Every structure is written in structure tokens, then in C-alpha cells.
Structure 1
Amino acid sequence: MLRQLVFILGLGLATSAQAALSPGSFGPASNPSVAQTPSFGLLAEGGVLGTNYIDFGVDFSFGNVEGYFDDGDALAFGGINGEGVLDLLTAVDGRIIVAGTTTGTTTGFISVEAGFASPGQLTLSVFDINNVLISSVVNDLTVGLNSRSLLTLTAPGIAYFSVSGTDTFGVAQINISGAAVPEPASWALMIGGFGLIGQSLRRRRAVAA
């Protein structure tokens, strides 16, 4: 019974650490999880301090105002007024974080769906951990009124992103994917879990012999 408990505990530790590092899709959600955190420092492209994060893996700010996922009918990536109406913004800066934490990490893929704007162009730029520009992409056609554009970039080591436009706009969804790099504490948790599993298996073999 004790050996089974040790095995289950070890498996749980290893699995929970891995699950916490799994990236995913981050879109508008009802009643989003928003938490106050210490300042992260300047975001890409001279952005403002980020002091909010959501429990989906992206920390962000809009121009000079912090924001979060809006659960209104417009499905805007906004929420400045919290009234469920679309917020039109002129800049979005953000960084990739380990889901559920304030720890920075990287991704190899990011796509941003934006629009609901007066006619204009949108640009998605991505930066490495040192805020050095990696790449940028501009939507092919001018975004018309109430239309959307999907901007996608694939590159190793994306730590920050920035969306900018020639007119006010809203961001509807952000997706990221790619293996997140475990932090030292997470590695210790995973290794400890695997160690307990190995110890349990060795004891099982010894008893069977």
C-alpha cells in the first residue's frame, strides 16, 4: 500500500509540473482570471509596465492601459471599461508567460486575430528575451471596417509580441504553441516525481525477486 502511494505521489508530481508548462490557445473567456502581480519591467517596443496577467499564458497591456480578456458579445481582447462592449486600442504589447504564473517563457509560434477597426493596416512583431526584434508581419490587405485579419509568425524563442496599427483596433484572439522551457523549480519538481516513481519500481522488482 505504501509503495502504491509513493508511486501515485511521484506520478502526480511529475504530471502536474508538466501540465503547468503546457501552452495552449488563449481566446476570449467568460469571467477571466485576472491577478495583480509585481511589475514585469518594460515590454517590447518601449511598452508600458505589465502589472496584470491572465491564467492562460499571456501578459499584456494596451497602450497606457492594462487590459484583460473581455467576455462581452463583441469578443474583443479588451475589457478596459468592463461593460462588455468593444474597446478600440492603438497598441498592444505583451509577453509569453508560463500558464498560471508570472514567470516568463518563450514560444515558437504566435497568431493574432485583430480587426473591428476603421480601414487600416495591422503589424505583428515578435521579440526575443532581450527585446531584440526577431520578425514582423503586416496583413496583406487593408483591414476594412468591422473586419478581421489573422497575423501569424513562426520563429524560435519568441518572448514578447507587439501589435500595432494605422488606426484604432481590437484584438480578438491570441494563440501560442511550442514547448515551454521549464524553470529550475519545475525541473526539480519533475525530477523528484520521476525519482519517486523509479524508487517504487525498484522496490517492486526486489519484492518480486
Structure 2
Amino acid sequence: MGTLRKLALPALLALGIGTAPAQAALVTNGDFETGDFSGWTQGGDFATDNVFTAPGHVYDGTYSAALGTLTGSTLSQVLNVVAGQTYTLTFVLANAPGNTNASGNNAFSVTLGDETFSLPDNFVAFDYGTFTIEALATSDTLNLAFSFLNNPSDWLLDNVTVETAANAVPEPTTWAMLLVGFGVVGTSMRRRRQVLSFS
């Protein structure tokens, strides 16, 4: 996997936050309800990544993924799609809500096909929000990959779905509103060195 890049603010504005659709068949075990990472390929230092059930930390159902390695890890799948079709990735994510240390050493990126989005480095703690990103399939497979590090806390991930864009209709709320709400638009959005690189 190549180096992950950050998107400039205009690209952030194009990404929506909405209500997660029902679990799509394209992603295997996107809700982690198997209680493990079945269907996913793990990479990097994933020793502390786990699927867990904990009151107040699971978004939906019984399990959510807790991702918090010290040096960075990945979670990925190769999806069977139709070339030329646009697909929408939807997922819910939290940065250890209630943990005052959650804005420590952390980074989060997601890639769908040729589209990559990264949160600013050392992002603040926040409760679950629903995020979407769209990508055009240029072949009959589409790579989905999450890359992250979080020390001393955890990213909480759940309800990962990929659907054709026509079937996924996010609400008009934008990433910009999320970032403004956290008060991080400005210095946090400056271009910095690339955050994560995995081979």
C-alpha cells in the first residue's frame, strides 16, 4: 500500500456526514458482528487492534472495532464491483469519546479506490459520527483501506458499508461543520508531512 495523502479543505467540504444505510453485501463483516476481523486483512503493527463489546463504546449491535496501535496499522478489503460505477463508502467513527487523552498521538486515513481522506494529525476526542466518501471504480475491484495509529487511546469503527452511489443518500451536513464544531479549521488544516506510510 502506498503513502497516504491528506486532502485540502475543498476536498473535505465535498465529503458528507449522514445516516448509515443498511449493511451492504460488498463489504464482508463491516459491522464486526462476527466478534473478530473475519473478512478483513490486517497490516502493520496490529497487535493491540481488537473487536470488542463494551457498554457505551459500541455504536450498533454487539461489537465495534477498537483500533489503537502505537506505530500504525491497516484494515483492508478488496471489493468486487462494476467498472465505471461510482461507489459510496459509509462508516461510523469515534475517537475514544470521554477519554481526555484521546487527542494525543493519533492519525486516521481511509482510502476507497483512488480517493483518500485523512483527519488532521492528533485529532480531538469525539463521539460517533457517520462519514461518507465516493470513488469511481476503474476496474472490477475496488480497494478499501483504513490506516490509523492512536496512542494512548483508540479509534472506534463500525457499520462499514459500500454501495452504488445511487443507493447511498447522505444528509447535507458536511465535514466542514464537524471540523468547525471542533474548532480545528485553521492551523490543524495546514498541509503537513505525510502521516502514515505502509508497504
TM category, shorter: 0.3 to 0.5
Q: Larger relative CO (CA 8 A, sep 6+): 1 or 2? A: 2
Larger Rg: 1
TM-score w.r.t. the length of structure 1 is 0.40
More helix by share: 1
